[in-house]
Structure 1
Amino acid sequence: MTDSPVIARPRFAVIDIARGVAIIAMVAYHLCWDLSFFRFIAPDVGRDPNWVLIARSILAVFLFLVGIGLVLGHGRGIRWPAFWRRTLFVVLGAFAITLGTWLVFPDSFVYFGVLHAIALFSILALPFLAAPLWLVAAVAAVVIGLPFFFADALFNEKLFSWIGFWQVPPPTNDLVPVFPWLGAVLIGVITARLVLASPLAARLAAITPSGRLPHLLAVLGRWSLLIYLLHQPILLAMVYPASAVLHPEIAMRRTDFLGSCQSTCLAGGTTAPLCTTYCQCGLEGVEANDLWNAIYSGLVSAQEQMILDASNRQCSALIYPELNTAQ
Structure 2
Amino acid sequence: MTAMGREDTAADIRAERRVLTASLLGAGVLGAAAVVWGLIADAGALVFDGVYTLAGIALSAASLLASRAAASAPSRRFPFGKQAAVPIAVLIQGAALGGTLLYAAVTAVQTIVAGGSRASQTVLLAYGLLSAVYSALLVLALRQLARRSDLARAEIVGWRAGTVLSLVVTVGGAAGLALERTAFRSLGVFIDPALVLIAVAIVAAMPVQLVRAGLHELLEGAPPPDVLARIERVVDEARTAFGLPTPLVRSTKLGRRLYVEVDFVVPHDRWNVDAEDHVRRAIVDRLHELPFDVWASVELTTDDDLAL
TM superposition score normalised by structure 2: 0.31
- Structure showing greater radius of gyration is 1
More strand by share: 2
RCO (CA 8 Å, sep 6+): is it higher in 1 or 2?
A: 1
